[in-house]
Amino acid sequence: MQQKLKLFKELFADYTNIAILHIDNSLGLVDSALEEVRAQNEGNIKYIPFVDENSAKLKATAREYEYIVLGNILTYCSNQEAILKLMYKAIENSGNIIILEKISNDNRYELLDLLENIGFQAPNCIELFDDTYIFTAKKMHHWDNGL
């Protein structure tokens, strides 16, 4: 598992004073890895425990985070598109979204399509953990909906 977490940490570029938003549905899979990324880059993590869809409705300012990590929440949101649009607004230009979803949720292709339709670039699904998919995508300046 340590090797897998080490590979997960490679999804994060070194940014001094990195800003990460982590909304988690008690998955707890990557908490220690995120803390290591934060410490290494002298950054901040805003952690929001997911209770229901309202937990993911941000009042964030535009371009507030370099990374947003969603831990197994989208399956429990009736309006996934609205949630991802809020996340899109909150991510810095050239920032990244990382979504962890249980493989058993069986939503791989729907999420990849949704990310692309919202305007995220290079959506990808990585099978690193035994029972959890990792989806990654990037927000690009002046591409689709880039601010």
Residues in the chain: 147
Contact (CB, 8 A) for 88 and 145: yes
Triad 4, 122, 85: Cα angle to 5°: 100
> pTM for the full model?
0.92
pLDDT tens, N- to C-terminus, the chain (147 residues): 899 999 999 999 998 999 999 999 988 899 999 999 999 999 999 999 999 888 887 776 778 899 999 999 999 999 999 999 999 999 999 999 999 999 999 999 999 999 999 999 999 999 999 999 999 999 987 555 544
Triad 25, 28, 32: Cα angle to 5°: 140
φ and ψ of 89, to 5 deg: -65, -35
